[in-house]
Copies of this chain bind each other. A is one copy, B any other.
Amino acid sequence: MDIKEQILAMGARALAASRTLSTLSSETKNTILLAMADRLEASGTDILAANALDISAAEENGLSSAMIDRLRLDEQRLSVIADGIRQVASLPDPVGEVISRWQRPNGMDITQLRVPIGVIGIIFESRPNVTSDAAVLCLKAGNATILRGGREAINSNRAIASALQSGGESAGLPPNSIQLIPFTDRESVRHLAEMDQYLDLIIPRGGAGLIETVVSLARMPVIKHYDGICHVYTDSEADLDMATAITVDAKTQKPGVCNAMETLLVHSDTAGDFLPEAAAALQQRDVELRCDKKAKEILGEGVKEATESDWRTEYLDLILSVKVVDSLADAVVHINEYGSHHSDCIVTANENRAERFLAEVDSATVFWNTSTRFSDGEEFGFGAEIGISTDKLHARGPMALRELTSYKYLIRGDGLIKGEAG
Bitwise, A240-264 to B at CB < 8 A (1) or not (0) is 0010011011101111000000000
Q: Which residue of B lies closest to A361 (CB)?
A: B408
Bitwise, A212-255 to B at CB < 8 A (1) or not (0) is 00011001011100000000000000010010011011101111
CA distance A421 to B248 in the complex (A): 12
Chain B contacts of A420 at CB under 8 A? Answer: 253
Given the known A-B contacts A219-B215, A366-B408, A411-B366, are A200 and B392 also in contact in the complex, defined by CB atoms under 8 Å? yes
CA distance A367 to B102 in the complex (A): 15
- Is the CB–CB distance between A368 and B413 below 8 Å? yes
The yes or no answer to A381 lying at the interface (CB within 8 A) is yes
The yes or no answer to A1 lying at the interface (CB within 8 A) is no
Q: Which residue of B lies closest to A356 (CB)?
A: B23
- Is the CB–CB distance between B393 and A102 below 8 Å? no
- Is the CB–CB distance between A371 and B416 below 8 Å? yes
Chain B contacts of A396 at CB under 8 A? Answer: 406-409
Q: Which residue of B lies closest to A410 (CB)?
A: B358
- Is the CB–CB distance between A413 and B370 below 8 Å? yes
Within A365-422, the residues touching B (CB, 8 Å) are: 365-371, 373-374, 379-381, 391-394, 396-398, 406-422
Chain B contacts of A368 at CB under 8 A? Answer: 410-413
The yes or no answer to A98 lying at the interface (CB within 8 A) is no
Chain B contacts of A391 at CB under 8 A? Answer: 221
The yes or no answer to A3 lying at the interface (CB within 8 A) is no
Within A170-223, the residues touching B (CB, 8 Å) are: 196, 200-201, 215-216, 219, 221-223
- Which of B252, B354, B381 contacts A422 (CB under 8 A)? B252
The yes or no answer to A364 lying at the interface (CB within 8 A) is yes
The yes or no answer to A9 lying at the interface (CB within 8 A) is no
- Is the CB–CB distance between B380 and A336 below 8 Å? no
How many copies the complex holds: the figure is 2
The yes or no answer to A285 lying at the interface (CB within 8 A) is yes
Measured CB to CB, the closest approach of chain B to A364, in angstroms, equals 6
The yes or no answer to A58 lying at the interface (CB within 8 A) is no
The yes or no answer to A314 lying at the interface (CB within 8 A) is no
The yes or no answer to A306 lying at the interface (CB within 8 A) is no
- Is the CB–CB distance between A397 and B409 below 8 Å? yes
Measured CB to CB, the closest approach of chain B to A419, in angstroms, equals 7
Given the known A-B contacts A369-B415, A397-B409, A415-B242, are A421 and B253 also in contact in the complex, defined by CB atoms under 8 Å? yes
Measured CB to CB, the closest approach of chain B to A354, in angstroms, equals 8
Interface residues on A, range: 35 or more
Q: Which residue of B lies closest to A103 (CB)?
A: B381
Given the known A-B contacts A408-B366, A412-B370, are A249 and B117 also in contact in the complex, defined by CB atoms under 8 Å? no
- Which of B196, B370, B393 contacts A221 (CB under 8 A)? B393
Measured CB to CB, the closest approach of chain B to A142, in angstroms, equals 12
The yes or no answer to A108 lying at the interface (CB within 8 A) is yes
Measured CB to CB, the closest approach of chain B to A316, in angstroms, equals 14
- Is the CB–CB distance between A419 and B253 below 8 Å? yes
Chain B contacts of A200 at CB under 8 A? Answer: 392-393
- Is the CB–CB distance between B415 and A364 below 8 Å? no
The yes or no answer to A268 lying at the interface (CB within 8 A) is no
Q: Which residue of B lies closest to A373 (CB)?
A: B418
- Is the CB–CB distance between A416 and B370 below 8 Å? yes
The yes or no answer to A80 lying at the interface (CB within 8 A) is no
Q: Which residue of B lies closest to A239 (CB)?
A: B415
Chain B contacts of A394 at CB under 8 A? Answer: 221, 393-394
Which of A285, A364, A374, A420 has the most chain B CB atoms inside 10 A of its CB? A374
Q: List 9 A-B contacts (CB under 8 A).
A: A117-B392, A196-B215, A221-B222, A245-B417, A253-B422, A254-B418, A254-B421, A366-B409, A393-B406
